[in-house]
Amino acid sequence: MKDDHYLARILGRIHGRGYKAYQDLRGSYQFNQFTLHVDHVQRDPYASPSHLRVEVEDHHYPPHFFSTSIRRVALEDYIARSFQRSIHAHLTRPRGSGRSGVMRIDAGGQEILERSCVNINPENLEIRFTLGLSAKGRKIMGEDTKKILVEILPHIVDDSCFFTGNPEVESHLHLAEDAQAIREELYIEGLVAFIANGSTLPRRSGICSQPLSGAVPFKSPESLRISLNSPNQGLITGMGIPEGVTLIVGGGYHGKSTLLQAVEAGVYNHLPGDGRELVVTRESAVKIRAEDGRSIQKTDINSFIHEPPFMKSTKEFSTQNASGSTSQAANIVEALEAGSQLLLFDEDTSATNFMIRDERMQALVKSNQEPITPYLDRVQELYDQEGVSTVMVMGGSGDYFEVAHTIIMMDCYQPHNRTLEARKVAQQIPTGRSREVPYPFSYRHRTPLKESINPYRGRRMKISNRGKDTILLGSDTIDLSQVKQLVDPSQTRALAYALYHAQKYMDGHSTLREILSRLEADLERKGLDVLSPPGRENPPDLAGFRPFELAAALNRLRSLSIK
């Protein structure tokens, strides 16, 4: 195999030549402690950067650090972040045109996600990263690239890819393992979420997911307090949110939405120091909101909306421009279709007419004039018949008191259990409204068809993402900005690839749920790489996602075609 000296010689030789000569770099080079693979070379200094990989054989990480999937994901996460720190420590400000000299690893934000950028097994450790190959205009700055790859890269690798006994590594794994253990215990204890005492829930700002400093630490009310056992930290005490229907009430600005958002985020594990590292939620929790303008394809929203004006049936409801209430109904049914057993609502982002309908409105607008069955009249049934729990922020209407099992009141950022008081209020002040359910709750499973997905724009394949909120697929654009549990742009990229991959399971018979589980089985067996479209082997920047977000992406595809 060629070695680092050989690489240095190529770079010396092509220094000053046109950018195309960088293509000569493709291949593998044996360094002292690792092998460097140059997989993809960018076409010019402004194009998306080149893909490189480092393979380390004697990484010294003990096998029990990655013996379970939760440990492996956390270890790989730790290594990605170390590599990133090491890049910052060793690489000085880049010079040159475009992305010259910019080295990146996809280390992620506050969540610990499965990532394609680091892969460890007993034999080796693989790190995938990108580098903008240096140029001035279109002239190769070979000496700069030589410095980065031949001199600096060995230091970066040396600092971050070998286990040296640092106890921080193990505590990173232990924390993720504890969070996962608690998540599994939720089912045994009949809980849907758990918030450890001392957690910091609020974030620094709406655009920054770091913890707010000086926040009031979370403390469970006595009556909802529970201690759960974790393998590494022993008993952890906090508030358990039980199965069933839970309301979060309280005055404006008292921390209701912040609590719900922490529960939403609890489907993922978080970094030590995040403040939510011991806030855990069942993995099937889906945030439901109104999302007017989205498209809907043959979704059975009939249990919530029947016979709107000039329309016969809503068992196969399609639109390219949903209203607030129809979009919210579709979001619920689609979450259930994908297998969710826990729905999260915030009144701030819900359609009022979908959530409530009070006595006076029932008197004025007769039920035969109102196509909407409000969620209020389905929420209990969903729990009793489908086993689907609800956690809802509802500060604006007491009509939910009758149907709730647990009522948590936020007061100055502290939770109180007000279930009994609310029951009393409900008895003293009857709502006077009547339940409006024309027929029992049901929905239909749909079969998506192959032709839904066309990755070609003209003759070129286009499967990519723009940030966290947009997927570009052929000539379609999918807007995911209202899919709030999507947290990382690399998840969005993986979703784009997954849509393409899922197409092969669209055989005209398989339901959406069946397609999701086949894809999950693929991911479990082969990892994120299985999603890569042809010609994009060894992707450096994919992150794990849930089936719910994949379903959400497919459901928002405007060309979705249903049998």
| Pairing assessment for the beta strands 245-250 and 460-461 based on DSSP bridges | unpaired
d(CA 437, CA 48): 55
Q: Give 518-550 as a 3 state SS string.
A: HHHHHHHHHCHHHHCCCCCCCCCCCECCCHHHH
455 part of the interface to ligand ADP, by CB under 6 A:
no
Interface of this chain with ligand ADP, residues 353 to 412, rule: CB under 6 A:
410
Residue 201 near which of Mg ion, ligand ADP, none (CB within 5-8 Å, type-dependent)? ligand ADP
Q: Nearer to Mg ion by C-beta: 146 or 256?
A: 256
Q: Nearer to Mg ion by C-beta: 317 or 345?
A: 345
Strands (E), 440-490: 456-457, 460-461, 463-466, 470-473, 476-479
201 part of the interface to ligand ADP, by CB under 6 A:
yes
Could you give the C-alpha distances from 72 to 2, 111, 189, 268, 495, in angstroms and in order? 31, 15, 27, 15, 22
Coil/strand/helix, residue 448: strand
Q: Nearer to ligand ADP by C-beta: 482 or 555?
A: 482
Interface of this chain with Mg ion, residues 16 to 75, rule: CB under 5 A:
none
Q: Nearer to Mg ion by C-beta: 291 or 300?
A: 291
Cα Rg of the chain, angstroms: 26
Total of chain residues touching Mg ion, rule CB under 5 A: 3
CB of 480 to ligand ADP, least distance (A): 23
Coil/strand/helix, residue 182: helix
d(CA 203, CA 158): 35
Instruction: Name which position in 22, 268, 317, 413 contacts ligand ADP (CB under 6 A).
Output: 413
Instruction: Name which position in 57, 151, 348, 507 contacts Mg ion (CB under 5 A).
Output: 348
CB of 485 to ligand ADP, least distance (A): 17
Q: Nearer to Mg ion by C-beta: 37 or 256?
A: 256
CB of 246 to ligand ADP, least distance (A): 15
Instruction: Name which position in 72, 172, 256, 287 contacts ligand ADP (CB under 6 A).
Output: 256
Using the rule CB under 5 A, give the single segment among 249-257, 327-335, 503-511, 533-541 that binds Mg ion.
249-257
Instruction: Name which position in 84, 116, 119, 257 contacts ligand ADP (CB under 6 A).
Output: 257
254 part of the interface to ligand ADP, by CB under 6 A:
yes
Residue given tokens 């819900």 in the structure block: 350
Using the rule CB under 6 A, give the single segment among 49-57, 255-263, 302-310, 473-481 that binds ligand ADP.
255-263
On whether the CB atoms of residues 186 and 285 are closer than 8 A, the answer is: no
Question: DSSP string spanning 276-294?
Answer: -TTEEE-TTEEEE---TT-
Using the rule CB under 6 A, give the single segment among 85-93, 159-167, 256-264, 378-386 that binds ligand ADP.
256-264
Please list, in sequence order, all residues whose beta carbon lies within 8 angstroms of the beta carbon of residue 372, skipping any fewer than 6 positions away: 304, 305, 325, 353, 354, 357
Q: How many CB atoms lie within 10 A of CB 126?
A: 21
216 part of the interface to ligand ADP, by CB under 6 A:
yes
Token digits of residue 273 = 């120091």
Q: Return residues touching Mg ion (CB under 5 A).
A: 256-257, 348
Binding site residues, ligand ADP, CB under 6 A: 201-202, 212, 215-216, 250, 252-258, 410, 413
